[in-house]
Amino acid sequence: MEAIVGDFEGELNELREVFKSGKTRDISWRRSQLHGILSLLKEREGDIFKALNQDLGKHHVEAYRDEIGTVAKSAKHALGNLKKWTSSKRAKLPLSTFPGRAKLVPEPLGVVLILSSWNFPFGLSFEPIIGAIAAGNAIILKPSELAPTCSSVLANIIRDYLDNSAIKVVEGGPYVGEKLLQHRFDKIFYTGGPRVGQSVMTAAAKNLTPVTLELGGKCPAVVDFLSSSWDKKIAVKRIIWGKFGACGGQACIAVDYILTQKKFAPILVELLKKYIKRSYGDNPMESNSLAKIINKKHFSRLKELLDEPHVKSSIVYGGSSNENDLYIEPTILVDPPLDSEIMTEEIFGPLLPIITYVADTLPFGGVGGSGFGSYHGKFSFENFSHQKAVMVRGYLIDFGFRYPPWNNKKLQLLKSGLRYDYITLVFIKLGLKSKA
């Protein structure tokens, strides 16, 4: 699929017209697009596997687990719940509005921009697309240029399987992203790092465009060894999977570092070594189960983290690398300096520091730098929807105490009405007594 070029105004106008026509609001259209996603995942699975292996060195089992399988599950979930999600919901009104009734109607936002990331190119593109489609929006997707093969495959399969009048793909680098952000969208969904996230927010603010940012962070795993031998083994295997098994640690949900008591650290290190070898062999570089670093820029960044003098001395396992193959060995560090870059920045790679402590608790946390907004399942639908308030009011009964001229009797009726149900208000209107 050819990249859309120019200032994008023509393409955006086309999308706005399609949205205004009501086409994307039609439930049958939403269903057809979700079924199209399921079809392309099944029929183009081989192309997706090849692209993920070429750009990231992902094994096809990992690719299915983390991208194709999860996206298929999300699409099926959206299809199964679409009627429920799109249904209006009753809302309460002040009693003084009787006999009015109100409801919340989920409304699509309009034309939305999705900026996806390179580490899970298909998953982080289709997950928000599914939510945007389910909610009835028109969409522009810009995949990451750092995974060029995946970007090209995404553009081609979306062209072949989805409605190109309402769902478009724009390929290109930072310049293309900057040009897109100069335009007004009804929603921007960005997955990536905090630095670019700030730029997205700045651009969106000019048009007061709502934004969802899915950024990174320092995600610790807290290990307490006051448990059985079996629990220790399972915990360590899960940590290894959560750190190295998801795109070689290049994931925002990957374990960033471990917190454990000082007395447990030696046991933990030995268990980590044991299960790293079981997962990736004596020479992980020869394993086809460990993803490569995305490019030389990120490879150099990770090497620089390790090459800080006081950090290098904290390595207790691993540390080898090969720039030509963009390979970095799973590496364990114990107590690198807390003010070093490896402990102040998101690692995003196969480096696992262990921070030990003797106090009972340590304060860690934060939300701003890790982004805001949420998605997956119904949260994706809600992310790209607006709950429009709708009130419907009949003419059978109308309370005169809501209108001037004002007097104390009306004031008392208003005050009483806030504490009574609708039937009691009818009794008050008719001048009858009730048990209320």
pTM comes to 0.81
Q: What is the dotted CATH code of the domain comprising 220-364?
A: 3.40.309.10
The residue type of 190 is Y
- Burial of residue 365 (CB within 10 Å: 0-12, 13-18, 19+) is exposed
Domain ranges of the chain: 9-216+369-388, 220-364, 404-430
DSSP H helices, 162-257, are 174-181, 194-206, 229-244
Q: What is the pLDDT of residues 217-255, one digit of tens each?
A: 888 888 887 667 778 888 899 999 889 988 999 998 889
pLDDT of 436 > 60? The answer is no
* pLDDT value of position 369: 65
DSSP 384: T
Residues that are catalytic? 214, 252
Cα separation, 144 vs 157, whole angstroms: 16
Q: Is the pLDDT of residue 376 over 80?
A: no
State residue 374's pLDDT score.
Answer: 75
In what helix (H) or strand (E) does residue 72 lie, and over which residues does it extend?
A: helix 69-86
- Using DSSP, how many helices (H) and how many strands (E) does the chain show? 17, 16
Q: Span 9-216+369-388: which CATH code?
A: 3.40.605.10
pLDDT score at 402 = 62
Averaged confidence pLDDT in the chain: 87
Model pLDDT for residues 381-432, shown as the tens digit of each residue: 888 887 776 766 676 766 676 667 777 887 777 666 544 444 455 555 555 4
Q: How confident is the model over 250-309, as pLDDT tens digits? A: 998 889 999 999 999 999 999 999 999 999 999 988 888 899 999 999 999 999 999 998
The answer to whether the beta carbons of residues 30 and 19 sit under 8 Å apart is: no
What is the rounded distance in angstroms from the CA atom of residue 284 to the CA atom of residue 290?
Answer: 7
Residues sharing a CB contact under 8 Å with residue 363, sequence separation 6 or more, in sequence order: none
Read off the pLDDT of residues 89-125 as tens digits, 9 standing for 90 and up.
988 888 777 788 899 999 999 999 999 999 999 999 9
Residue 4 has pLDDT above 90, yes or no: no
Cβ neighbours around 147 below 10 Å, total: 25
Per DSSP (E only), the strands in 77-119 are: 89-91, 100-108, 111-115
